[in-house]
Amino acid sequence: MLFRLCRCLFALYTLAAVSYTTHFFIVAPLRSALSFIVTRPIPQLPGWPHVLHRRADEFVIADADHAIDLDALSQDDIVYWRSSDFTRQHGLGHEAPIAMPESLFLSKAFANSMKPSKIVPFFYRANSIFQKEDITITTLVTSNRFQVFARLVERYSGPISVTIHVKNTTKHVHELLDSLHALYLSSPKMATNVDVHLVIDAFDRQFNTWRNIARFFARTDFVMMLDIDFFPCTDFRGAILDSPAVMDKLRSGTAALVIPAFEYPVYQDGVDPSRFPRSKASLAPLVRDGKIGMFHASWAPGHSSTDYDRFMAAPEGEVYQVTGYQSAYEPYVVLKRDGPPWCDERFIGYGGEQGSVSVRDNHLYEETARRTERKYNRRIYSEFKEEACVRYLRMYGEEEERGRNARKESTRLACPLHGSLYPHRDIVWAADDVKTLLEPISQVITYDDNSRAEFLKNCKPGGKYDGVVGIFRDNTSADRIGIFDKQLIDGFPASLKWIAHNGAGYDQIDVHAAKAKGITVSNTPGAVDDASATTALYLLISAVRQYSLSERTLREGKWKPKGTNARAHDITGRTVAILGLGGIGLRLAELVHAFPMRVIYHSRNKVAHAPGWCEYFPDVEAMLKEADVLSVHVPLRPDTVGLVGEKWIRLLKPGSVIVNTARGKVIDEDAMIRALEDGHLASVGLDVYPNEPEVNPRLLEFPNITLLPHMGTENQDTQRKMEVRALTNLRDFIVEGKGKDVVVEMK
């Protein structure tokens, strides 16, 4: 106890020391340098109403009205934000309260997976008066990209709100201000069109967070989320503002405009912006000849929000809905600044001649380097919880006043999500969980089709299910629309990206067809472990002790059946061989060990977390020779059909027992029946059959075997756990882009 107390005191001392040292050597000098830089005015230079000026290693702002005192900023209303219990129970949010400015809390700019950033808004405020219904480009820039940013400023000639990252070191502050000074001298439009905001953060890759900070401080009603290294080839700003149809959509706050982005795959083709296409007419032949293509076409999913074929085919001025939007990566949209979150609302496209062409300034960027960055970015964004999604934000701080304010704000978004998901109508035990897990973040559609043809019709463009992103599947759906074979999967809408199967076995889903269409399949393995294992245990005991025969005799009005003693055995001390030590097999091993029984197993690999009393047999045939009972727990795949065949059955000891709670087709049924007929098998315990719900009549003739009608998970507790786990996989996909229970073929 004393040792633990000393450890705690030492940890607290270390934390305090690190905190003090960080503040003394980094935070305090940074604040001092920035406050000195941004608060000291100097006379204006001729011809420049607001400029940065270098004098004796000092940087100052030319107009005191644009100065921000960092210390004064730190006095902003502080919110101590602690994530709700609900959020933390699902592996999200923050355990301890986090101090942050109230403006940032409601800015939709904070990323859950990253630490809060210190923000200096309007470090420099442009002197132009912007029209409310103009479009502000909101972007970010690092100090090594100022020249690229200057080209964007000059080309766009409109309002820009930019976030500039500053590392929390005084040295970097001075280096950045040197570069910023040169930027203002090189681009006269910087002073008139660009609002500059600083974000002070040691972590240098919070790209989406910084872009949303720039969005929050935009001074117009509409914003365009854009990377700085895109060259606006056409006057799409003017074309959009002059289009009544597009403006009506944007004013409603229920839609956003997708801007197609292109790039030159060959570096030399894209080095000269003066040669970039200036219209769709000049763009089309370049696309046709492969000289230019979809931005980052090599990424998966990549910047695939824009339906490029649809855009190229659109007549001039046509407004159309984007039906294949992907939330990942794509930031090139125009939307209402205080309207729907850009990451999860419905989008429209615009086919105007001058409306939608943006080409990336090309970089000599080898695919090997790009591959490395993709891997790094995906690791970051896989945990990125974008609080720009107000529907998701309302899960946080539920009992706090500001949390209630966030929920109130979210009610303004009356338009349903374009990306919706539709659970199967037979969610029985987790109906309330649909409301808590899915409804806050998605539109839930319950399908009621009674035939495959009707279902596929509703999946077509314009149909009831057009735009759905995920589906909850239960085996009972096969009664109405059939199994999820290639025909059905190929008929799914292009937007569907996730199948959440309610069950551990997923042999009724063609996972290869799903994978080919870019659809991920998840199942519910852990939820069924207890129920399936106890079913296997029941079958094992009943088959070895001949209980099924005894019950049948009793129901016929007879007492103990003759000869039972000669056929039955005690299970204590017997050897059970488990084929497939997954979750169910491992749980069965724990149960039979209590008798005790000897447990031996074979899996594709030795299970690292298996108890020491589980003996691993790399040679399955050697294992079978020692088994009194074989319990089967492998999934049904093409390579496991008939896996337990004549040879393996005959390797078992004479008088042994087979238990199957996996899938009927894993065992060669005819070989098993022959072994029962000649006495090589004393009994079997079956819960699954090759052609369910049909049962081979020959099995029904054996009085000494135990048969169940696939009852392994048939209890309300397990059914609810399965439904909740499948719904949680859907929720995780919508929020995080991934789920916990992806089937092995997808990994």
Q: Which residues are catalytic?
A: 663, 692, 710
Distance CA 445, CA 442 (A): 10
Distance CA 164, CA 124 (A): 11
Q: DSSP secondary-structure letter at 477?
A: G
Burial class (CB in 10 A: 0-12, 13-18, 19+), 573: exposed
Q: DSSP secondary-structure letter at 111?
A: B
Distance CA 189, CA 170 (A): 28
- Alpha-carbon distances, residue 598 vs 328, 578, 616, 712 (angstroms): 51, 11, 12, 24
Distance CA 184, CA 182 (A): 6
Is residue 349 within 8 A of residue 316, CB to CB? The reply is no
- What pairing do the DSSP bridges indicate for beta strands 256-258 and 498-501? unpaired
Is residue 521 within 8 A of residue 746, CB to CB? The reply is yes
Reduce the DSSP state of residue 386 to 3 states and report it: strand
Is residue 629 within 8 A of residue 544, CB to CB? The reply is yes
Reduce the DSSP state of residue 497 to 3 states and report it: coil
Is residue 355 within 8 A of residue 263, CB to CB? The reply is no
Distance CA 574, CA 595 (A): 9
- What pairing do the DSSP bridges indicate for beta strands 194-200 and 160-166? parallel
Q: What is the residue-wise DSSP string for 27-88?
A: IHHHHHHHHHHHH---PPPTT-SS-EEEETTEEEES-GGG---HHHHTTSPEEEE---HHHH
- Alpha-carbon distances, residue 647 vs 457, 620, 651 (angstroms): 48, 12, 6
Packed helices 170-186 and 28-39: angle between N→C axes, nearest 10 degrees: 30
Q: Give the burial string for 54-81 (b: 16+ CB within 10 Å, else e).
A: eeeeebbbbbeebbbebeebeeeeebeb
- What pairing do the DSSP bridges indicate for beta strands 261-263 and 358-360? parallel
685, β-bridge pairs? 659, 706
